[in-house]
Chain A
C-alpha cells in the first residue's frame, strides 16, 4: 500500500466563547506513528472530533492524499479513510470476535440472500486479524477476552475499513503492561503498512518504543512536531506548558499537629497496595498520578464506597478496619466523587434536595423532614459557595458544571466533616469556578479541617496543596514535601514515569 498523507490547514473549531482549536496546521506522513500530547483542555479531543467527523470544523481544510475532504458524520469520515478507536470500547461482549469485526457487513450467499454465511464471515475476520499479526481465534466470544485483547480487536475492527489514518484515543489507559506491548506490536504492523497512526496518550515512556514524532498541542494551538530522537522530557514538557505562572497558595494556612487521618497498609487487590500516609488538621494533601494509577480507587476504599482487602483507616483517633459509608460519614469523613453526574448528584432532584442528600438526618426529626430545617441549610450553602441559582427547587441538572460541583461540595460540607476528599473536583468546570473550589479548600484548611485533593491537573495540585503524594500503578512512589519549590515540569516528568 502506498503511504498516506494527511495535511491539515488552519483547522479551527470555535464554540460560543471558546476557541477549542485555533488554526491547527500540520502534515502527517504515512508509515509514521505520531504521539499527540497536550494537557487536558489543550484541544486534543477537539482535533480528534474534527477528524472523526463528530464535529464540523468552523474553518480550515483537511486534505487526505492531496484531496480535500469534509465529513457530515463519523460514517463519512470512515468512508474517506479515517478511523478512530476511542477509550471506551464499543464491542458487543456476547458476540464473537468475527461478529464484532464484521458487524453490519456480514457475508451472505449473495444479494437477496438473508442467511449469514458464517464460513465466509469468519474467514474475512480472520484475514484482517492475520494482516495485523493478531493471534486471537475469531470464534471466541469477546466477553472471554482480556481488556487488552478487546482493545486490539477494536483496532482490528477499525482496520477492517482499510483506513489511511487511524487515531487511537488513549488506548493504553486501561491496559496492563504486557498488554500494552502486544498493542504496540499491532501499531508497528500498521506503520509498516503505510498507515498514519496518531496516538493520543499521557504516558511518555510508552510511546518511546513506537512513536516516530511527538506532536504537541497547547492552548488550542499546534505548538510543533519533533522527531522522537530529540524529544527529551524537558523538550516535551516545555512545549506542553510554555511559560506557566503558578498561582500560589495563601500563606495563612497552618498545618496542625493533630493527625486527623491515618491510612495504614491499605490494600485492594489489583487496585492499590500497601498504602500508608497521614493527614494533619488543616493540611491539604494532593495525590498526583496518571489515569489508572489508583488514586480514585484509594479514596473510595478509605471512604467505604468500595471494599478493601486489608489495612486500616484511623480517623480522629478511631481505627476502622472495614469502612462503610455511613460509618465514615459519622466519623467525619466526606467525599465528593469523581463523576458528579453519575455518582455525586441525583440529576432529576431539586438543588435543595441535592444539598441535603448526605445529611437527611440533620434536616429531620424522628424521620420527618422539616422545611424549616432544610430551607436555611440550602440557602446557607447557596450563599457561602456562591452557587448561581434562580430557584432552589429547580432540578440540579439545570445548573452548569461548576455550580453542580458546588452543590456536591455543599452536600458534603453539610455533614459537618473533619476530613474532606475531593476527587477531580475541577473536571469540566470553568476557571472562575475552579478558583472558587480552591478557595473552599483553603477555607476548610483555615477552619482546621483536613483535605485530600486528587487531580489530573498537576498545576492545580502545586497551587493548592501543602504536600503532594505521587501514585503509580497502585502504589505511592514518592512525595513532594513542599510544592512551592518544585516546578510543574519536574512533577509532570515524575508522574509520567520518567525522570527529568
Chain B
C-alpha cells in the first residue's frame, strides 16, 4: 500500500481549542452545579439539543455551500401546524388517527422538499440570494402557521404520539437518539460521499466546481431541501412534546442554529466547516443553558453567554487562521 493512503493530517492540539474549553466548562459545572453530572441530566441535554441540533446539521451543509437558510424556525412552526391540521381534518373525515398522522407527515415532507428545492432552483437559475428567498419563506411559514390554526394550538394527537417528544429507547430519550443518528448520517455524508465533497467544492469556488462538471444546481437544490426536511423532523418532535400544532414555536431558532454552526467553526464565506464542529457547537449552547438553569442564573443571561461564545469562538478561529497564514 502506498504511503499516501495511510497518511493523515498531523494532529494539532490547537485544532481542538473549542473542545477543550467545552470540556473545562463541563468539569466546572460538574463540581459547581447541583445535579449536572448525572446520566439523567446528560440525557436531558441531548434531548433538548435535538430539535435545533438536527436543523443545525442541515444548516452546516447550507453554510458550507455558501448559502443561508433563515426560514427554519418558522418552518418548524408551519409544518407542526400543518401536520396537526391534517391529522385533525382527516380524523374528522373518518380516517384512523394513525393513518391521518402518517399521511400528514408525508404531505409535510413533500411540501418541505418542494420549498427547499424551489429556493435552490431560483438561487441557481436567477441568482436570487438564499438570504432573500428564505427571508420570504420565514415570513410565509410563520404567517401560514397562524392562518392554518387560526392562531390557536390544534390538539388532535393520541397518547402514543407523545413518544416522539418524550419517549425512550433502551433508556435513551427518543429525541436524543434522533439527534445522534442525524449527527452520524450527516457526518458521514459530509466526509465520505461525492455529494458531500461537491458541497465543499461549490462553497469553495462554485465556478471551478461547475467547470469540473459538478452539477451545481442539483447540489444546491438538494441541500436546501435536506434542511427543510430536518425542519419537518424538528417540527414533529416539538409537536409531540407539546401534543399540539402551535404557531408560536420555533421563534428565532434560525439564530440559535446559525450560532451553533458558527461556534463550531463553519465559515459563513462557504467552503469550510465540519459536522463535528456543529455537534460541539450545539452541545456547547445547550450545556451552557443547562448549567445556568441548574445554577439558578436568570435565563436571560444565556443571551449574554451566547454572545460571548460566538464572538470568542470566531476570534479563536481568526487568530488561528492568521497564525497559520504567518507560518
- A contact residues vs B (CB 8 Å cutoff): 305, 325-326, 329, 335, 337, 342-349, 352-353, 357-358, 360-361, 364, 367-369, 371-372, 375-376, 378-379, 382, 391-393, 411
Closest 4 CB pairs of A and B: A375-B5, A346-B204, A358-B212, A357-B212
Q: In the complex, what residues of A have CB within 8 A of residue B4's CB?
A: 352, 375-376, 378-379, 382, 392
Instruction: Determine the residue in chain A with the shortest Cβ distance to B2.
Output: A379
Contact of A344 with B211 at beta-carbon distance under 8 Å, contacts A364-B194, A391-B7 already known = yes
B207 within 8 A of A: yes
Q: In the complex, what residues of A have CB within 8 A of residue B205's CB?
A: 342, 345-347
Pick the contact of B208 from A345, A361, A364, A372 — CB < 8 Å? A345
**Does B200 contact A326, Cβ atoms closer than 8 Å?**
no
**Does A357 contact B194, Cβ atoms closer than 8 Å?**
no
Instruction: Determine the residue in chain B with the shortest Cβ distance to A394.
Output: B9
State in angstroms the CA–CA spacing of A445 and B186 once bound together: 44
Pick the contact of A343 from B2, B197, B200, B207 — CB < 8 Å? B207
**Does B9 contact A369, Cβ atoms closer than 8 Å?**
no
State in angstroms the CA–CA spacing of A261 and B104 once bound together: 55
What 18 additional pairs, Cβ within 8 angstroms, besides A369-B193, A369-B194? A325-B212, A326-B215, A342-B207, A343-B207, A344-B208, A346-B200, A347-B205, A348-B204, A349-B200, A353-B200, A353-B201, A364-B194, A367-B195, A368-B194, A375-B4, A376-B2, A391-B9, A392-B7
Instruction: Determine the residue in chain A with the shortest Cβ distance to B201.
Output: A346
Pick the contact of A360 from B208, B210, B214 — CB < 8 Å? B214
Pick the contact of B5 from A337, A347, A353, A372 — CB < 8 Å? A372
Interface size on B, as a range, is 20 to 34
B8 within 8 A of A: yes
State in angstroms the CA–CA spacing of A343 and B210 once bound together: 9
Q: In the complex, what residues of A have CB within 8 A of residue B215's CB?
A: 326
Which DSSP category, helix, strand, loop or mixed, fits chain B's interface? helix
**Does B213 contact A358, Cβ atoms closer than 8 Å?**
yes
**Does B271 contact A349, Cβ atoms closer than 8 Å?**
yes
**Does B7 contact A357, Cβ atoms closer than 8 Å?**
no
Contact of A329 with B213 at beta-carbon distance under 8 Å, contacts A361-B194, A369-B192, A375-B2 already known = yes
Can you name 30 A-B pairs with beta carbons within 8 Å? A305-B210, A305-B211, A325-B210, A329-B213, A337-B208, A342-B207, A346-B204, A346-B209, A348-B204, A349-B201, A349-B204, A357-B208, A357-B209, A357-B212, A358-B213, A360-B198, A360-B214, A368-B193, A369-B194, A369-B196, A369-B197, A372-B5, A375-B5, A376-B2, A376-B5, A378-B4, A379-B5, A391-B7, A392-B7, A393-B9
**Does B214 contact A348, Cβ atoms closer than 8 Å?**
no
State in angstroms the CA–CA spacing of A367 and B195 once bound together: 7
B10 CB to nearest chain A CB (Å): 8
Q: 1/0 per position for B83-126, CB-CB distance to A under 8 A?
A: 00000000000000000000000000000000000000000000
State in angstroms the CA–CA spacing of A393 and B272 once bound together: 14
Q: In the complex, what residues of A have CB within 8 A of residue B209's CB?
A: 346, 357
**Does A353 contact B272, Cβ atoms closer than 8 Å?**
no
State in angstroms the CA–CA spacing of A326 and B210 once bound together: 9
Instruction: Determine the residue in chain A with the shortest Cβ distance to B6.
Output: A375
Pick the contact of B213 from A325, A346, A367 — CB < 8 Å? A325
B15 CB to nearest chain A CB (Å): 13
State in angstroms the CA–CA spacing of A131 and B193 once bound together: 64
Pick the contact of B193 from A367, A391, A392 — CB < 8 Å? A367
State in angstroms the CA–CA spacing of A424 and B2 once bound together: 34
State in angstroms the CA–CA spacing of A352 and B200 once bound together: 14
Between B7, B201, B209, B213, the greatest number of chain A beta carbons within 10 A of the residue's beta carbon is seen for B213
Instruction: Determine the residue in chain A with the shortest Cβ distance to B9.
Output: A393
State in angstroms the CA–CA spacing of A92 and B41 once bound together: 58
**Does B9 contact A360, Cβ atoms closer than 8 Å?**
no
State in angstroms the CA–CA spacing of A358 and B200 once bound together: 14
Pick the contact of B211 from A343, A347, A378 — CB < 8 Å? A343
Contact of A346 with B208 at beta-carbon distance under 8 Å, contacts A325-B213, A329-B213 already known = yes
B83 CB to nearest chain A CB (Å): 31
Pick the contact of A337 from B192, B211, B214 — CB < 8 Å? B211
State in angstroms the CA–CA spacing of A312 and B121 once bound together: 29
Q: In the complex, what residues of A have CB within 8 A of residue B8's CB?
A: 393
State in angstroms the CA–CA spacing of A361 and B205 once bound together: 19
Q: In the complex, what residues of B have CB within 8 A of residue A346's CB?
A: 200-201, 204-205, 208-209, 271
State in angstroms the CA–CA spacing of A414 and B115 once bound together: 37
Instruction: Determine the residue in chain B with the shortest Cβ distance to A352.
Output: B4
**Does B197 contact A360, Cβ atoms closer than 8 Å?**
yes
Q: In the complex, what residues of A have CB within 8 A of residue B211's CB?
A: 305, 325, 335, 337, 343-344
Instruction: Determine the residue in chain B with the shortest Cβ distance to A344.
Output: B208
Instruction: Determine the residue in chain B with the shortest Cβ distance to A372.
Output: B5
State in angstroms the CA–CA spacing of A364 and B9 once bound together: 21
A306 CB to nearest chain B CB (Å): 10
Instruction: Determine the residue in chain B with the shortest Cβ distance to A324.
Output: B213
State in angstroms the CA–CA spacing of A391 and B205 once bound together: 22
State in angstroms the CA–CA spacing of A335 and B271 once bound together: 23
State in angstroms the CA–CA spacing of A372 and B5 once bound together: 7
Q: In the complex, what residues of A have CB within 8 A of residue B208's CB?
A: 337, 342-346, 357
State in angstroms the CA–CA spacing of A367 and B196 once bound together: 9
B298 CB to nearest chain A CB (Å): 42
Instruction: Determine the residue in chain A with the shortest Cβ distance to B8.
Output: A393
Q: In the complex, what residues of A have CB within 8 A of residue B214's CB?
A: 357, 360
State in angstroms the CA–CA spacing of A358 and B2 once bound together: 23
Q: In the complex, what residues of B have CB within 8 A of residue A325's CB?
A: 210-213
State in angstroms the CA–CA spacing of A392 and B7 once bound together: 9
Q: In the complex, what residues of A have CB within 8 A of residue B200's CB?
A: 346, 349, 353
Considering only residues 233-290 of chain B, those with a C-beta below 8 Å from chain A are 271-272
B193 CB to nearest chain A CB (Å): 5
Contact of A357 with B2 at beta-carbon distance under 8 Å, contacts A367-B194, A369-B193, A391-B9 already known = no
Considering only residues 213-237 of chain B, those with a C-beta below 8 Å from chain A are 213-215
State in angstroms the CA–CA spacing of A393 and B213 once bound together: 22
**Does B213 contact A347, Cβ atoms closer than 8 Å?**
no
Q: In the complex, what residues of B have CB within 8 A of residue A342's CB?
A: 205, 207-208
A338 CB to nearest chain B CB (Å): 11
State in angstroms the CA–CA spacing of A349 and B272 once bound together: 9
Q: In the complex, what residues of B have CB within 8 A of residue A369's CB?
A: 192-194, 196-197
Considering only residues 173-213 of chain B, those with a C-beta below 8 Å from chain A are 192-198, 200-201, 204-205, 207-213
Q: In the complex, what residues of A have CB within 8 A of residue B272's CB?
A: 348
State in angstroms the CA–CA spacing of A367 and B207 once bound together: 22
State in angstroms the CA–CA spacing of A344 and B197 once bound together: 16
State in angstroms the CA–CA spacing of A342 and B204 once bound together: 10
Q: In the complex, what residues of B have CB within 8 A of residue A345's CB?
A: 205, 208
Q: In the complex, what residues of A have CB within 8 A of residue B7's CB?
A: 391-393
Instruction: Determine the residue in chain B with the shortest Cβ distance to A326.
Output: B213
State in angstroms the CA–CA spacing of A352 and B5 once bound together: 11
Q: 1/0 per position for B1-31, CB-CB distance to A under 8 A?
A: 0101101110000000000000000000000
Q: In the complex, what residues of B have CB within 8 A of residue A371's CB?
A: 5
Q: In the complex, what residues of B have CB within 8 A of residue A361's CB?
A: 194
Q: In the complex, what residues of B have CB within 8 A of residue A357's CB?
A: 201, 208-209, 212, 214
Between B2, B194, B272, the greatest number of chain A beta carbons within 10 A of the residue's beta carbon is seen for B194
Q: In the complex, what residues of B have CB within 8 A of residue A344's CB?
A: 208, 211
